[in-house]
């Protein structure tokens, strides 16, 4: 079932959105519906996840230099491993 919704937006934004929708060959309503489906389907992370004592105890165990880049280190590790 479709329900009508009235929203207030700036004129220039509506104009730009209508031009974009025309280029994409969709209606403005379809475009807005698609966007709303996208943002409401993304699963939100749980905010009440408890950090276990083990994880808390491991926090800050390793002291790395500020210039440390794990990607470079991992790349070097793999190149040595597969020589």
Q: How far apart are CA 59 and CA 53, in angstroms?
A: 10
Task: Report the alpha-carbon distance of residue 20 to residue 14 in Å, rounded.
Answer: 10
CA distance 83 to 79: 6
Q: How far apart are CA 22 and CA 8, in angstroms?
A: 20
Q: What is the per-residue pLDDT across 28-46, written as a single tens digit (0 to 9) for each?
A: 999 999 999 988 887 766 6
Helix or strand or coil: residue 9?
Answer: coil
- Scan for tokens 């475009």, then name that residue: 31
Instruction: Decide: pTM greater than 0.85.
Output: no
What digits encode the pLDDT tens for the residues 47-82?
777 888 888 888 888 888 889 898 999 999 999 999
Whether 24 has a pLDDT exceeding 70, the answer reads: yes
């Amino acid at each position: 079932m479709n329900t009508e919704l009235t929203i207030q937006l700036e004129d220039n934004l509506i104009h730009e959105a209508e031009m974009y929708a025309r280029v994409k060959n969709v209606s403005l309503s379809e475009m807005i519906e698609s966007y709303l489906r996208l943002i409401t389907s993304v699963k939100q992370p749980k905010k009440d996840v408890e950090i276990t004592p083990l994880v808390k105890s491991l926090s800050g165990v390793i002291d790395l230099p500020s210039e440390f880049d794990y990607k470079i280190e991992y790349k070097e590790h793999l190149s040595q491993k597969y020589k």
